[in-house]
Chain A
């Protein structure tokens, strides 16, 4: 299994990054830190899907006078392009909620917020 993971190093790295982000989302107390963890999880998933489209010796999928096959798979790249932009809009929404929580409650630590109820 270790050898298979070593051959699929990109996939294994994105799993590790996903777990690091998951750890931050679960274990960290600060809301901003939680969202940094969520962003790391998102980029890990993006890296995994982009890695699915990589081809041995593949070039960027742009036709032109001096471009020659093989090209990398354009479909995962297009999906991830939309994914990144949606990710930044969710981040903006979450951060504005955090600002609002701080204005209302004076803290952004999850356990202090829980005690406040």
Chain B
């Protein structure tokens, strides 16, 4: 059961990473990147690393995404 959970999370992680790369809309890519960080945080929590998981949830999913969104708002939204 635990193995199945692991494999599901890892598959979700790789799917999110591919989606970040393939999305042409940068704002959507930033949001998917936030989801990627959250899945990573779940994996680390499951592996017995709650400190790292908490940092990733706050920094990776929170602050990095906000900085990306601010940058996109100040530059262009669509990738050519």
A and B together in one complex:
yes
A residues contacting B by CB (< 8 A) are 9-10, 13, 16-17, 20-21, 23-24, 28-30, 32-33, 36-37, 39-40, 43, 46-47, 50-51, 53-55, 58-62, 71-72, 77, 80-81, 84-85, 87-88, 91-92, 95, 98-99, 102, 107-109
User: Given A9-B6, A17-B13, A84-B60, does the pair A50, B37 have CB atoms closer than 8 Å?
Assistant: no
Chain A residues with CB below 8 A from B50, complex form: 60, 62
20 A-B residue pairs with Cβ-Cβ distance under 8 Å, sorted by A, are A9-B6, A9-B7, A10-B10, A16-B14, A29-B79, A32-B68, A36-B33, A40-B17, A40-B33, A43-B36, A59-B48, A60-B48, A71-B48, A77-B51, A84-B59, A84-B60, A85-B55, A87-B59, A92-B67, A99-B74
Known: A32-B71, A33-B79, A51-B47; 8 extra A-B contacts, CB below 8 A, are: A9-B10, A36-B68, A37-B21, A43-B40, A43-B56, A72-B47, A88-B60, A109-B80
* Pairwise interchain contact A47-B43, C-beta atoms closer than 8 A: yes
* Pairwise interchain contact B13-A13, C-beta atoms closer than 8 A: yes
* Pairwise interchain contact A30-B52, C-beta atoms closer than 8 A: no
Chain B 38-56 interface residues, beta-carbon cutoff 8 Å to A = 40, 43-44, 47-52, 55-56
Chain B residues with CB below 8 A from A43, complex form: 36-37, 40, 56, 60
Contact of A32 among B21, B26, B51 (CB under 8 A): B26
User: Given A13-B10, A13-B13, does the pair A32, B72 have CB atoms closer than 8 Å?
Assistant: yes
- Complex: how many Å from CA A114 to CA B37? 32
* Pairwise interchain contact A81-B52, C-beta atoms closer than 8 A: yes
Asked whether B29 is an interface residue with its Cβ less than 8 Å from the other chain, the reply is: yes
User: Given A9-B6, A40-B17, A40-B36, does the pair A32, B64 have CB atoms closer than 8 Å?
Assistant: no
